[in-house]
Every structure is written in structure tokens, then in C-alpha cells.
Amino acid sequence: MMISAQNFSDLKVCFLSLGLIGGSIAKALRLYHPEIKIYVYNRSENASKEALHEGIADYIMQNPTDRIDECDIIFLCAPVEINNKFLVEIKDKISPECILTDVGSVKTGIHETAEKLNLTKQFIGGHPMTGSEKSGYKNASALLLENSYYILTPSCEGQEHQLDFLQNLISSLKPITIISDYKTHDFATAAISHVPHLIAATLVKLVEENDTPEQFMKLIAAGGFKDITRIAASSPDMWEQICSGNAENIITILDYYQKLLDQIKASLVTKKEGVIYQLFEKSGAYRNSLSDHARGSIRKSYQLYTDIRDEAGAIAKIATILAKETISIKNIGITHNREHEEGILYIVFYDEKSMNDAVPVLNKNGYPVIER
């Protein structure tokens, strides 16, 4: 079809791979634009059949090129290496008006492949900055994109028409869309996502390798330490691919981070006053200026803390109070490390609304809340 900035009703959209992100985009399209035709291809047929059974998919493709010439937009939702292979396979079979996009967190590799294949006029990179601790189509949600940042990275000049159309379509699914060139994107995500994941993992490794035989460090590693290293539990397979794909930018950021650590170390050696103070003062002010109203590249944990007596039935009582208000909790438990927290009970929620709804309920029942 001829792409129109206002016309979504006749669209045929293809998903090559149907995991958590691809499945969530497909479900959002079905929710907000039920008239769109959705074609799906997945190496494992289970996800495709489930999407068809749920009414998300209209047609299961037998291979990546099956009826691909009919499609107006193609979402490449596999790992980068497989997406590159998809591009090679479909290059000569897609319509000249078809828009190609992907959902990867590293953009340079796929943009370079598109350029080699002379697909730059059709390819617009995409990065929905959202996710879940669970993977696969079965955990996909039509609301996963809502209020998250979705970055679009055009390949070249002259794509204004296609970019406007894709941005309008993506925006209709309720994320916050941002336009960036792919090199700026990869440098930025190295700093705010990729290096922090590496730092979290190495902090855990630091404690593990320096712990006492009795594992004293592990015993008291609650509260702040567990919070700042939460992302160390991310998928090893995925993060090896991400770090490999963005190695140059990660190395640059790590070099700068090493200089900052060296400065801190030098100030401790020379006992130079004010360096640590200024570090926390400036970084604290900058952190407080960050938005709480949109999801970024690192999944947010919706949790709060409150004081309770460490006694039998205390946790059950609070869980019951929240349940009566139909507020679902994801996790709840006692932390014995009070170094950084006034409270000892932590409650983790599935979303921000549930956490916000819980605050007045807990306060009303005599449990002072410390929000995170």
C-alpha cells in the first residue's frame, strides 16, 4: 500500500521473531488498531500458534520470505546476528515502499548491514527501552510499551515521510518516541545501560571473591547493595551479545569511569578533603533531576520500605491489608540491614500505580512508608 501518515487501517505488519518485545508490540497493535493485519514468523511454532489462537496474528508465515512482499512494515525482533540474516533473505523480496525496523538495544551493527545491502532508504532502527525479568511471547503484554522511551534511528536523509509514519504508528501504542542518529544512541546506551550492567555484575563478583569463609559479606549484603546490583541478574546470553555489539563505546565509557575511580583513589591516598563530598553532592543533585515519569533502559523496581515489628504474622497482616484493597504485590520480606533504610520491611510491586496506591493504605493502618 502507499504509506499515509494518517492511515493505519489497511496496514499489513510482519514480525520476524515473536519474543517478549515483538509479541508486546504485536499485542499493542491489535489493542489499538484491531483492523491491522499481522503476519508472524517464529523459529519455534509454539509462539506463532499461540498468537494466532489469541487473535493477535492473522497469518503464520512458513518461512521469513512467505508473503513478505505483501507487508508494509517489518519488525525484526530476533538477536542482531539473526536479524542480519533476515535482511539478506528478504532484501530482494520486499516491496520498495516497505518500512524495515528492528527492536535491538544496539543499533550500529544492523545499520551497517542495511547500508551494505542498499536498504538505508527503507530501514529505520528502533529501540523500545522496556522489558521484563521474564522472556518469551507468553510474557508479552500490550501495555509493556506504555510510558517507556522508544528511540527511532533513521538511516539517512530523505526518510522524513517513512519516519513520520512509523513514529505516528509507534506513538499510538503509548510510548514516548525520540529520534536520534544511531551512533549517538549507542554511545548514550553504553553510558546509561551497558556499563551500569557491567559495574553491577563486577560489584557482585568483588564481594563474592573477597568474602570470608563464613560468607559474612553475603549475610549482610541486603538493602542498598542488593538494590544497586539488581541488574546483575540479567540474562548472560543477551548481555554478552549486547556488550560485543557495542564494545567500542563501552570501552570508551569504561576508560572514563576508570579515570573517575583513579581520582577517588588518589583523594583517599592523599587524604584530600572535599573530593568525596563534592562527588556525592553533585551526583546526588544530578540524580534527583532525573525523571521518574518514564521508563528508561534499566527496568525500574517499584518498591517501598516501612517499619514493622519483627514478629510472627507481621508480613501476613500487611499482605492482607493490601489484598483487601486489591493491591497485588510481587515480593515482600524482612531486611535486617538498616544502614541506608529506616524501615525493615520491603514490599515490591508489579507497577508504579500499585506502589502509589499502597502508600496511603499503609500509612492509614499505622505503617509509615519510605518510598524508593
The candidate with the shortest Cα–Cα distance to 230, out of 313, 150, 129, 298, is 298
Q: How far is CA 132 from CA 114, 125, 145, in A?
A: 29, 21, 11
Rounded-to-integer distance, Cα 73 and Cα 122, Å: 10
Q: How far is CA 232 from CA 79, 147, 204, 229, 298, in A?
A: 20, 24, 7, 5, 11
pTM: 0.78
Place of cell 554478552: 240
Q: What percent of the chain stands above pLDDT 90?
A: 60
Rounded-to-integer distance, Cα 227 and Cα 15, Å: 35
CB 302 within 8 A of CB 348: yes
> Mean pLDDT of all residues in the chain?
88
| pLDDT value at residue 341 | 44
Rounded-to-integer distance, Cα 125 and Cα 122, Å: 10
Of 179-183, 191-195, 349-353, the range with the lowest mean pLDDT is 349-353
At 304, is the secondary structure helix, strand, or coil?
strand
At 15, is the secondary structure helix, strand, or coil?
strand
- What digits encode the pLDDT tens for the residues 259-294? 999 999 999 999 999 999 999 999 999 988 887 655
Rounded-to-integer distance, Cα 157 and Cα 166, Å: 15
